[in-house]
Every structure is written in structure tokens, then in C-alpha cells.
A and B are shown apart, each in its own frame.
Chain A
Amino acid sequence: MSRQTGTIVAALVATWAAGFTPPVEGGDRPFAVRAKAYVDRDGSVVNGATLIVKDGKVSAIGSDVRVPAGCFVLDRPDATICPGFVDPHVTLGAMGRTGEAANSIETEADAAELFNRYHHDFDRAVRAGVTTVLLTPRSSHLVGGRTVAVKTAGETTLTRIVGPGPIKLSLAPAAFTTARPPTSLQGGLARLRGMIAAARADRNDEGAFAKWARGEAVAIVDTIEAAELGSLARLVADERVKCVALHGNYAAERLSDIKLTGQPVILGTYEFTDSLRFTRTPVILQREGVGFALTSNAPRYGPELLRIGAAIAMAQGLDAAAAHAALTTTPAEIIGVQDRVGSLEVGKDADFILMDGQSLDLTSRIIEVFVDGRRVYRADTREAGGTSRSPDGAAGRVN
């Protein structure tokens, strides 16, 4: 009975999801996008943009790139081309719970197993301009398991998985309950130290935890409260491991701890109701030379908050280049996928968004989103008056 129901529900979901899958366009044919400006790797905005996409990759980008004859051209004279946003911490698109309840230590759990590419959350992420996310186990575990970087759109599960991400740890209060050991931060740290020593002793251990323990990979560590940043800094100093603090809400107040980790921080989520104490953190970190990425923590909060978070930080004085970096290059580096996404450079994935204004202006609209060179989202650009300023008005032409 229940299995039958499950099958029917799954079939319905699949049908429904398929019905709403964004139109896939572009294909393997090379094409060019001409726009007003594009956002460069360093976060600066370059006027006059021509982007050529071939086989889903960026084949050329610049202000003086020549479009080859016969190439299909999208003319977007008012638009800005921005690399797709990268969110370094989501549980978006996961099927079911994202934490094993029984144990606090789940080194072999893999978030790739949770990845449900038909999940409607991905549509929302695409609409928010987010093209790559790190799907993570939840923070209720000392060692949550392996994370996975996935594209928010694309044809098959395999092509959408970019690669395994860092291991996820948590020192947050949520990781410790009296119901299962370790029940405390001090017990958790002692346990980690023991596991690190064991992993170092066994050179054949190729697991994600062992690689982190040997200093070959980074871990994302949930440190939502101030106390945990101190504990994390102590762990990094003692064990020489690489840790990225997640939700480093108190990073600005614990600068020495954060600097000790030697890694960027993942900040957020920021909302308009957040106190100055938290929203000032990005600009203080920028001043102190500490890198940071923003997260929306979707689906708990909307993926739109990635952009909004950057705007809130800019309202406190963060400059545009740093805000761009926090949405694109820095998270890509944290995840370890900087060779493929995070910036528009020759050879990288053609994941980009077209905005009808300045890229970090909240009144700008995301009009088109491309993943792997395919258009996966196009805004409904009919205005209230019924006139169309649709990009398809000048849909394209052959050069």
C-alpha cells in the first residue's frame, strides 16, 4: 500500500517537476552574448561585454572580443553579465532529512546521496541567480559527513554534480545533546583530536575526514556562536588543520581567532532585521584583510537572500568588488570548484546571469540565467502596461 502510494507520488512529482523544468536553450551551438558590461574575476565591472560560449564553456570574454561570422548573437544592450552566484552552504534540494539522528559522528555520510535534482527548490535558486550550491549535511552532528557541489540546473544528475566538497563539521550547540555522545564542546574537541591522531597514523585512509586530518583538504565548521570560534582557533593551532568557519557571526569580534584559521569565513544569512552588530561584520573583515563568502542557508531562508545579504553588507560600507567576491569567487574557492565556476574566464563553465541593471543593485532584475551554456531561466518581462521589453524583442540574430 505505502509502496504503491510512494510510487504514485513519485511519478506525480516527476511529472510535475518536468512540467516546470526551465526551458533549455542554447544547445551545443556556439553563441555570443553582447551586453552593456560584465563583472570581471576581481569583481570590477568592465564596460562593453562580449561573451562567447562554446560547448558549455566560456570560449572568450572581453570588451573587444570579435564575434566570428555565422555565430548566433544575443543582444542585450542594457544588461550586465555576472557570473552565477555560488552558495557555499545549503540543504536545498535534499530529499528528506539531512542528518543521521543516531550518531554524532558520520564521517562516511555523503550529501550526494541526498541530492534530488527534481526538487523545486532548485528553480527558486536559479531565479535568484544561484547556479552552484554546496549541499551539506546539517549542523546537528560533530562530523556531519561529506558535502557535494551541485549545479542548480542541468540535464542529468551526473552533469549537475560538480564534485565532492569539503567535509562538514559542527561545533554549534545544535551538535550536542545529552541524548548521544559526545554531549559537549570539550568532549567533541577531544573526540576530534583523537580521530585526527588515528587518521594520521593510518596513511592508507583515503576518506574525506582522513584527508582533512592530514591537512590535505579543508573542512567547513559550523561556529554559530562566539565561543566556538575560540575553540576552532585552538583546534587549528594545535592540529594544523584547515577549517572554514561557517556562520561566523562573531568573526568581527574574534578577529584574532579568525585570522588564526588562515581561511575565509562563511557569513550570513543577513536580513534587513539583523542588528548592526552582525551586518557590520563583512566590512570589518574586508578592512582586516579576511576573506569571506555569503550564504543564504536555503531553503531555511530564500536563496534570494544571497543577493540581499550582499546589499545589506554594502549598506554598511562594503565595496562592490568585495561583495562580488563574496558571492562568486570566494565561495567557489572554499568549495574547491574555482577551476570551473565562480568567475567568467576562458575555459570555465558558462554559468552566468544577465541583469537589467547594475549587478548588485537590488532593483536590478535577473532576466536570464545560463548554466553550462544553456539558458535555464528567462524572466517574464511583460510590464504592467502590456508592452514588452522582452529580451526576445531583440531575440537574437546571426552575425
Chain B
Amino acid sequence: MFRRVIIVAGVALWAAFCASSAAADVDAARTGSGQGADRGSIVLKAGKIYADPSRIIEGGEVLIEDGKIVAVGKEVTAPEGARVIDRPNGTVTAGLIDANSTAGFTRRTDRAEHEFECIAHLRVIDMIDLGHRAFERLASAGVTTVYVSADSASVIGAQGAVVQTGGPSDQRVVREAYGVKATIGREPIYKGSRSRTPRRRGTTYLTRRPTTRMGLVWVFRKSFHDAQTFARGSKPGSRGAGSPVDEAIPYLQAILRGDIPLRIQARAQLDILTAIRVTDEFGIPFVLEDATDANRCVDELRERKIPVIFGPLFDYPSGLRRGGGEANRYRYSTPSVLLNAGVTMALSANDLTGEAALPQQAMYAMRFGLTRRQALAAVTTTPAALLEIQDIAGSVAEGRPANLVVWSGEPFDVTTRADVVVIGGCIVKECPARSSAAGKKGTGGSGDQGIEGASDGWWKARLRGVSGDLDRL
């Protein structure tokens, strides 16, 4: 009856449903989590609290009330009836932030609007699915906040959004529209409705530029040139296909004024250098996304203080990265090269979720040169600063929304997983504590027992769900 596509797409969640179909389970899940029950007081006790990368509290406690962090310290005064989660072997960090994610995109074909090549007036929040399973997978990996970046099919794409991966449904959207993404590289040329050579006279949106990198940069220049011309009060000479549509002009002007941050996705060295060159012409600061070849442009990036949201690190490029030769010269050492050269860098897992998400990126980065503090900064405070949400996310401090992760050991170690994830004061994942025999008190103890327990915990966490609505089924 429903189209097969939908059913196939829903198979995974359906499996979880099967597991939860017994009424008792569902009721337990309903009363056990969601907006109500879990937003009471919670005390997290752990062997170590990374309040921020430079402030570590040994044997500390965090008190959460009404979705906010109320106290952080050696010992907090817990109110009566507070839920205590005690993980003497664990560590606490702020929820991780992925500043360049694709979570929530559900459709294969229409992730970007192809009518115009410059769609700075459109918003990603209008089309992403906040109930998408990618968010659940990210939350269970310890990523609590993501910037959903526009698709790379447009030269100048839509405005992204900052969203929570779980927690109370009325607090999921942190910023409806933040930043505009431009892409310099192969994808605006080949993705989506691929521009063709016009057969007859006249250019439509199917036959306009770009079909080459030259055409792409022409569109980029033309967009900002037209915006500048309008801002001066005059009209550009030509307004044919490839010119920015009227609705987009105010947003382009806001980018020129610096009111809307520009992000540019560029992978190959050539494209990164092109991005630097054309933005120099207009004097636009920008944040570099993806940046596979950033290690080959270190001097330029440092000189112009261009922050980089690097990633993902991968063994071998897959998906769209695989074609086009943009991502063939990847290096695991790039994050440490960038940081050691003084470039601001955040790590990103982009489209990778679950176990492949940010913690694994940080793990690889550490294996290839980053210290733990550097790695922690690259997935918490640095992305928070780049998204201008450093006042509400990225570190564990009083008064902030309670987005926290309790890790089973030192963060980003190979044997460490996210045991407890709290978003907006809701416990969205809780694995049972490993048995006390797992190791003596202190951090880093990761016994090899408890594998069974771990999988039980995982399923219970799944049952509780991440999105508020699912809980209530």
C-alpha cells in the first residue's frame, strides 16, 4: 500500500518497533523518559570531569536541574530525590559538536534547490527531518549539537541550521538559520540537475553555468558583484541566467557586510586556493569546510586566519568524495599539521554517524598527533566558537543547557564509548554501569566483561528513543 521505498527506508526503525511492540515495554519507555520524567534533578558523578579542555576536575560531580547545569565541582549538594548516576571509572565532557553535518536530509534527489545556482535565501531547516535516525545515531555516539550544512549541489547554497540531536522537542532547534554555504569544486557541476549544453537558443536553469570550475567561479563572482552593485544603488548590466535571484540579494549583501558568516566547502588544494582568491576580491571572511587538502595550503590559511572545519578522516574516500579526484590526497596527520601551524581547526564527521561519528574522528586525530586536550577542543569549544554558540555549548559550566556525555573511560580512547548522553537535561542514552570488577576506581579502567550488558543497555537506550515523540508511542 505505502510505496515500497518508504517501507525500505523505515526498515531499521521498524526493527526497533518490533522489539518494543509489547505493550509493557512501550509503557515503560513512555513513562521512563521524554519531556517529563527525566528532566528532574540528575547528579552525574565521574572519575574526571573535563569542564573544558583546559579545566579538569578529578573526581567531580555535575548537578543538573530543569535541563540546565546548576553546579560543577568536587562535590555538589544534591536535592532530595535527585537521580544519581555514578561512574567512578568514567569521564564527563560537554556534548560533542559537529560543525558540518548532513544529518536530517532524507531525500536523495532534492537536497538543494536547482532552480537557482545561488539560493542563499533558502533555509535548510525547512527540509530536514528532525526525527531522522541519523540524529539518534549521533546522539548515541555522544554528539549532542550539529550544524546541518546545506547541500553542495549549489554554488552558493542555503542557510544551515544549528540543532540538537535529541532532547526536548521544543528545544531541538538552536538556530533556525545560521551561515550560508558555498561550494567550490566538482559537486555544483555534477550533482543534482546536471547543467547541459543548450540545444536551442536560450538558457534555462538546466543549461546555465556552471559546467566547469571556470563557470562556477563566474557564478560566485557574479552573485557578489550583483549584490555589491545593488548595494551601491545601481543596477548590474546583465541579469541573465546564473545571476542571483532578487530574493537572494539581501542575504548576499549581509554576507558582504559580515552579518551572515560564509562557509565554503573546498577539498582539493586548487579549490581551496580559488576560494581564498575570490573571497579576497570581495573581502569576505569565511570558514573552510571539508578541506581534505588543507595540509597543502597551511601558510595561506594561517596568514588569513581562515578557520577550518576539517573532516572526515577516512581510510579511503567513499560516496561523492570518491569520484572526481578531489579527495585522493588525504592525510591522517592533517589535523595536527593545521593545529601546529596555528590554524583554528574543528573536527567534523560530516555524513558519518554512529560509531564512525566525531569520537572516532577525534580518536584518529589523536593517533596521528593531537593531544587529548587538542582533540577535545576540536570537537567542543572550537566548533562552538565557530558557530557562535560558545555561551551555551561546548563546555561544562553553570547555567548552560545540560548537554553532557559520560564516557566509559578517557574520551576518544579506542576502548571508550559514550555510556550516558544527556541533552537538554533529558537522558537520551544510558548504558548500565560496568560491573565493579571491571577495574579499580580511577579512570581508564575498561574491563572486557560487560559485553552482554552493553548490548542490553544499547537496546534499552534505543527503546527510550531520542526524539520526544517516539518515546510516547
Residue of A nearest to B205 (CB): A181
Among A64-72, A82-90, A226-234, A320-328, the stretch that binds chain B is A226-234
Shortest beta-carbon distance from A294 to chain B in Å = 12
Chain A contacts for B6, CB-based, 8 A: 224-225, 249
Q: Is A284 an interface residue (CB 8 A)?
A: yes
Report Cα–Cα, A217/B248, bound state, in Å: 31
Chain B contacts for A225, CB-based, 8 A: 6, 9, 106, 129
B121 near A274: Cβ-Cβ < 8 Å: no
Shortest beta-carbon distance from B177 to chain A in Å = 11
CB-contacts of B127-144 with A (<8 A): 127-132
**Most A Cβ at <10 Å: residue of B2, B3, B112, B114:** B2
B472 near A255: Cβ-Cβ < 8 Å: yes
Chain A contacts for B106, CB-based, 8 A: 225-227
Report Cα–Cα, A227/B158, bound state, in Å: 18
A184 near B17: Cβ-Cβ < 8 Å: no
Chain A contacts for B2, CB-based, 8 A: 224, 249, 274, 278
Q: Is B366 an interface residue (CB 8 A)?
A: no
Chain B contacts for A336, CB-based, 8 A: none
Chain A contacts for B453, CB-based, 8 A: none
Residue of B nearest to A255 (CB): B469
Shortest beta-carbon distance from A236 to chain B in Å = 13
Chain A contacts for B146, CB-based, 8 A: none
Q: Is B357 an interface residue (CB 8 A)?
A: no
Interface secondary structure of B, over-half rule:
loop
Report Cα–Cα, A384/B13, bound state, in Å: 48
Q: 1/0 contact trace for B3-20 toward A, CB 8 Å?
A: 100110110011001100
Chain B contacts for A262, CB-based, 8 A: none
CB-contacts of B88-126 with A (<8 A): 104, 106-107, 109-115, 119, 121-126
Chain B contacts for A176, CB-based, 8 A: 109-110
Report Cα–Cα, A271/B17, bound state, in Å: 19
Shortest beta-carbon distance from A22 to chain B in Å = 29
Taking a contact as CB atoms closer than 8 A, the residue among A178, A249, A270 that contacts B109 in the complex is A178
Q: 1/0 contact trace for B447-473 toward A, CB 8 Å?
A: 000000000000000000001111011
Residue of B nearest to A284 (CB): B473
Chain B contacts for A288, CB-based, 8 A: 472
Chain B contacts for A284, CB-based, 8 A: 473
Shortest beta-carbon distance from A140 to chain B in Å = 13
With A227-B106, A227-B107, A227-B129 given, is the CB distance from A190 to B170 under 8 Å? no
Shortest beta-carbon distance from B11 to chain A in Å = 9
Q: Is A182 an interface residue (CB 8 A)?
A: yes
Q: 1/0 contact trace for B167-179 toward A, CB 8 Å?
A: 0011000000000
B115 near A183: Cβ-Cβ < 8 Å: yes
With A190-B247, A269-B1 given, is the CB distance from A231 to B126 under 8 Å? yes
With A186-B122, A187-B119, A277-B10 given, is the CB distance from A230 to B131 under 8 Å? yes
Q: How many residues of B contact A (CB 8 A)?
A: 49
Q: 1/0 contact trace for A183-201 toward B, CB 8 Å?
A: 1111101100010000000
Shortest beta-carbon distance from B296 to chain A in Å = 34
Shortest beta-carbon distance from B279 to chain A in Å = 25
B473 near A184: Cβ-Cβ < 8 Å: no
Chain A contacts for B467, CB-based, 8 A: 253
Q: Is A4 an interface residue (CB 8 A)?
A: no
B130 near A230: Cβ-Cβ < 8 Å: yes
Shortest beta-carbon distance from B134 to chain A in Å = 12
Q: Is B439 an interface residue (CB 8 A)?
A: no
A178 near B21: Cβ-Cβ < 8 Å: no
B247 near A187: Cβ-Cβ < 8 Å: no
Residue of B nearest to A194 (CB): B247
Taking a contact as CB atoms closer than 8 A, the residue among B107, B121, B473 that contacts A173 in the complex is B107
Residue of A nearest to B469 (CB): A255
Residue of A nearest to B14 (CB): A277
Q: Is B193 an interface residue (CB 8 A)?
A: yes
Chain A contacts for B40, CB-based, 8 A: none
**A-to-B contact residues, CB < 8 Å:** 173, 176-179, 181-187, 189-190, 194, 224-227, 230-231, 234, 249-250, 252-257, 269-271, 273-278, 280, 284, 288, 301
A/B interface sample: 28 pairs, CB < 8 A: A173-B109, A176-B109, A178-B110, A178-B114, A181-B115, A182-B115, A183-B192, A183-B193, A184-B110, A186-B126, A190-B126, A226-B129, A227-B107, A227-B132, A231-B126, A231-B127, A234-B125, A234-B126, A253-B131, A253-B467, A256-B169, A256-B170, A269-B1, A274-B2, A275-B7, A275-B14, A276-B17, A277-B10
Closest 10 CB pairs of A and B: A187-B113, A181-B115, A227-B129, A178-B193, A184-B110, A185-B127, A271-B1, A183-B114, A189-B126, A184-B113
Known contacts A186-B113, A227-B106, A252-B469; 11 additional CB pairs below 8 A are A178-B114, A181-B205, A183-B192, A185-B107, A186-B122, A186-B158, A187-B113, A187-B122, A225-B6, A234-B126, A269-B1
